[in-house]
Amino acid sequence: MKRIAWPTAAFSAGVLAWASAIPLAALLLASPPATRVPRVMASAIYVAGAVVCHQKPERSFSLAGQPLPVCARCTGIYIGAAVAVIALAGLAGADRSAAFRSDVSRARRIGLVALAPTLVTLAWEWTIGTPPSNPIRAAAGMPIGAAIAWVVWWSDRTRG
């Protein structure tokens, strides 16, 4: 059984922590005002989200009356990565190297296929003028996150 390299383990832990932090931030922000520490933690997550996302409330899911710290598409990307990390971790203990067998050109093709749903939603929005619903935007983002997680795990498996 091949061990998971520390960069892949760190990536996986980060993916799972961030995917968990997204809904947690909204719940913490909605908590009673007397609880200062959770609100500071929530604010830190929203600031981190602002680095990677536009955070438009109308394009974000809401939880406990608060918009999530990233938009629906970004939420889908992070959920897709988290689901893939969990699935790939389940494969790590078994001899299932075929799931990781690849080359750079295959990884690029997978990346392009994963990007296609988001490109379709962007083309729809830019040509029709109306944005797709948040669930559609999230679903379109999930393959991107899953593909990124797979590439990280694949690179770990192919390292000599």
Predicted local distance difference test score (pLDDT) of residue 38 = 84
Whole-number pLDDT of residue 61: 98
Q: Which amino acid is at 145?
A: G
Q: What is the pLDDT of residue 36?
A: 77
Q: What is the pLDDT along the chain (160 residues), one digit of tens a residue?
A: 467 788 899 999 999 999 999 999 999 988 877 667 888 899 999 999 999 999 999 999 999 999 999 999 999 999 999 999 999 988 765 544 555 555 678 888 899 999 999 999 999 999 998 989 999 999 999 999 999 999 888 877 665 5
- Give the per-residue pLDDT at 48: 97
Q: Report the greatest alpha carbon distance in the chain.
A: 54
pTM: 0.88
Q: Is 127 exposed, middle or buried (0-12, 13-18, 19+ CB in 10 A)?
A: exposed
**If phi over 0 gives left and psi between -120 and 50 gives alpha, with beta otherwise, what is residue 65?**
left
Residues 6+ positions from 149 with CB-CB distance below 8 Å: 11, 12, 15, 80, 81, 82, 84, 85, 88
